Amino acid sequence: MLTAVELHAVHKVHRRGTQEVRALNGVSIGFPAGTFTAIMGPSGSGKSTLLQCAAGLAEPTAGRILVSGEDIGRMDERARTALRRERIGFVFQAFNLVASLTAAQNVELPLRFAGRRPDRAEVDLALSAVGLGERTGHRPSELSGGQQQRVALARALITRPDVLFADEPTGALDTTSAREMLAMLRRLVDQQAQTTLMVTHDPVAASYADMVVFLKDGRIADRLELEPADRTRPGRIAAQMARLEA
Ligand SMILES: Nc1ncnc2c1ncn2[C@@H]1O[C@H](COP(=O)(O)OP(=O)(O)OP(=O)(O)O)[C@@H](O)[C@H]1O
């Protein structure tokens, strides 16, 4: 199986004034293409830092990161920008939509940044795929939280990225919208082999993944492989989290 993202002995030290915080402390792991991984761990364990480094949004202090087999540390700034714009999709807890633009214009943005003229049919299709075909002309303030996050998902996927990164994508959603978003992410993996890495605190959200990686103190503390029968059965994941937080 191809590995979409590989981390080799990755360290990340954040400097805050004279203080140093070791957010990642020698993380080595591969994420197979076409799979859905949830990253869990106590607050401050390094989850967001891992995602930011793997996506090329933050630079590791040491170690190597490969995306689709390419070492992103060896890329010049131009290549890294192109990687971020065209081969990586990102969804955040705060939807980060541009308030003055319509849903369709928000989805078009990554294509414009990549220097491509957006194709209206392509944008409409992306919004239909997330169930928003009727709302392409709405502005974010005219959409519910769940709908705004679906616009953000369509925007993240419009460039057909190798990897979709999601940092607490359901953190700001009500239970029903959260389940819809998770089911959508799962379908993308099952039907389009969309490699997905998601940081979450929620064992229910993690239970939609194929694998759960647990971080503690910047290291991988454990992994749990999930069978389809485990989906939406968060008990084992919650128990593992409780052990890590004990
Ligand atoms: N930009 C930064 N500058 C300084 N320290 C940082 C920075 N980003 C993260 N840290 C520190 O690095 C450690 C890991 O942070 P990170 O956000 O990756 O953890 P996390 O597991 O995602 O936490 P949470 O679940 O609370 O979001 C924490 O101690 C955090 O305070």
In a domain, 133, yes or no: yes
Query: From ligand 1's centre to the CA of 22, what distance in Å?
Result: 9
Most informative mutation of 47, 198, 215 for ligand 1 (most atoms within 8 A of CB): 47
Q: What is the pLDDT of residue 46?
A: 96
Q: What is the pLDDT of residue 231?
A: 76
Tell me the one-letter amino acid at 233.
R
- Find the mean pLDDT for residues 78-98: 90
In a domain, 38, yes or no: no
In a domain, 18, yes or no: no
CA pair distance 144, 78, nearest whole angstrom: 36
User: Which atom of ligand 1 has the smallest separation from the CA of 201?
Assistant: 25
pTM: 0.94
Q: Is the pLDDT of residue 105 over 70?
A: yes
**Which residue range(s) make up the domain with 103?**
97-160
- Could you report the predicted ipTM of this complex, rounded to two decimals? 0.96
In a domain, 6, yes or no: no
In a domain, 106, yes or no: yes
214: left (phi over 0), alpha (psi -120 to 50) or beta: beta
Do 153 and 91 contact (CB within 8 A), yes or no? Answer: yes
**How many domains, the chain?**
1
Q: How does pLDDT run across 117-144, given as a tens digit for each residue?
A: 888 999 999 999 899 988 999 999 999 9
Confidence of residue 1 (pLDDT cuts 50, 70, 90): low
- Find the mean pLDDT for residues 148-174: 95
In a domain, 110, yes or no: yes
Do 164 and 193 contact (CB within 8 A), yes or no? Answer: no
Query: Closest Cα to residue 152, out of 125, 133, 178, 126?
Result: 126
Q: Which residues line ligand 1 (CB under 6 A)?
A: 14, 16, 21, 23, 41, 43-49
CA pair distance 195, 97, nearest whole angstrom: 23
In a domain, 201, yes or no: no
Q: What is the pLDDT of residue 22?
A: 94
